[in-house]
Amino acid sequence: MCMPAVRLAVKAVSKSYDRPGRGKILALDRVSLTVGEGEFVSLIGPSGCGKSTLLELVAGLARPDQGDILLQGRSVAGCRGHVSYMPQNDVLFPWRTVLDNVILPLQLQGMATKEARQTARQLLPLFGLAGFADSYPHMLSGGMKQRAAFLRTYLCRQELMLLDEPFGKLDALTKIQMQEWLLDIWQRFQHSVLFVTHDIEEAILLSDRIYLFSPRPGRILAELTVTLPRPRSPRLTTDRAFIKLKETLYSRLQTGFLEQEGEAP
Ligand SMILES: Nc1ncnc2c1ncn2[C@@H]1O[C@H](COP(=O)(O)OP(=O)(O)OP(=O)(O)O)[C@@H](O)[C@H]1O
């Protein structure tokens, strides 16, 4: 199989946090991973294992204590503005309309408001927001809010997208619809994506590769390549090959947890 060129390389990155009066905690321990050009890569692991921390480091919102972060071979550790980043709680501003929420990155890039609105307006139908340009966030469903936040992220116009559990708070049916929609959007744009999730089925359905994280401090337990054919749809989750992959993932997660417990002092 032909491997795509590397877009993102995280090299032996560690990160700890100071907790006032309680010392340091190690969130990430020598994490190394890559995302290729046009590749969809997921991180899966238990709550608190450092997945969001890793995305923040890649987005340049914090600096690693050790290790490096390379985008197309160039170190970007601590540098902002090189990736499109949708944080876990990416809220829309309630006082701005949908259109004026999504144009924010374009305005920050210096585009005039009129041009930014024109650019974004053309994309609204593709993001399932046709007819909602002038609505306010409270008038949208949960799925629509997430699509608006996703369009805002997309308009950062960087080749690598970091998505931190974008469907984590949605009900099961809306989540399935959103996964189908994201698969379609990704198929069209073929961005490189680094996607955080707690959901094993979601990771398999969407990804080309999956990294499994241990409980904190986050380490990479395993890396899995998903060879299921594309285009994919949520119906694939009942497929025999899909279920087999799910079993493999479960047992790797379980073995990793047990090994980590065995290591505890
Ligand atoms: N700014 C901070 N200061 C102190 N501790 C932090 C800070 N940010 C994260 N942590 C701690 O670092 C660890 C990793 O947190 P992080 O949010 O990266 O995990 P996560 O895997 O994304 O969790 P979840 O899946 O629940 O969102 C946790 O123990 C968390 O409490």
**What ipTM was reported for this prediction?**
0.97
Report which protein residue has its CA nearest ligand 1's atom 28.
Answer: 48
**Nearest alpha carbon, ligand 1 atom 18:** 50
Task: Decide: residue 171, CB within 10 A, 0-12 exposed, 13-18 middle, 19+ buried.
Answer: exposed
166: confidence class by pLDDT, cuts 50, 70, 90 = very high
DSSP line for 18-74: EETTTEEEEEEEEEEEEEETT-EEEEE--TTSSHHHHHHHHHTSS--SEEEEEETTE
Q: State the angle between helix axes of 142-154 and 172-189 in degrees (0 to 180), rounded to the nearest 10.
A: 20
Q: What are 217's two structure tokens? A: 């401090």
Q: Is 197 in the pocket of ligand 1 (CB under 6 A)?
A: no
Averaged pLDDT for residues 221-248: 94
Q: β-strand 220-225 against 40-44: which pairing, if any?
A: unpaired
For the chain, what percent of residues have pLDDT higher than 90?
A: 86
Q: What is the residue-averaged pLDDT of the chain?
A: 93
- Tell me, in angstroms, the distance from the centre of ligand 1 to residue 117's CA: 36
Closest atom of ligand 1 to 49 CA is 21
Tell whether ligand 1 has an atom less than 6 A from the beta carbon of residue 47. yes
- Whether the model clears a pTM of 0.80, i.e. scores above it, the answer is yes
Q: What is the dotted CATH code of the domain comprising 6-83+160-263? A: 3.40.50.300
What confidence tier does 238 reach under pLDDT thresholds 50, 70, 90?
very high
- Quick check: CB of 19 below 6 Å from ligand 1? yes
Which residues is 211 bridged to in the sheet?
43, 223
**Residue the block writes with tokens 């919102």:** 61
SS3 173: helix
User: From ligand 1's centre to the CA of 41, what distance in Å?
Assistant: 20
Which residue owns the Cα nearest ligand 1 atom 16? 50
> Cα angle vertex 109, ends 104, 114, to 5°?
60
What is the predicted pLDDT for the residue at 265? Answer: 43
Tell me how far the alpha carbon of residue 237 lies from the centroid of ligand 1, in angstroms: 30
Confidence grade of residue 22 (pLDDT, cut at 50, 70, 90): confident
**pLDDT at 199 > cutoff 50:** yes
pLDDT at position 89: 86
> What is the mean pLDDT of the segment spanning 68-95?
94
Give the residue extent of every domain in the chain: 6-83+160-263, 89-157
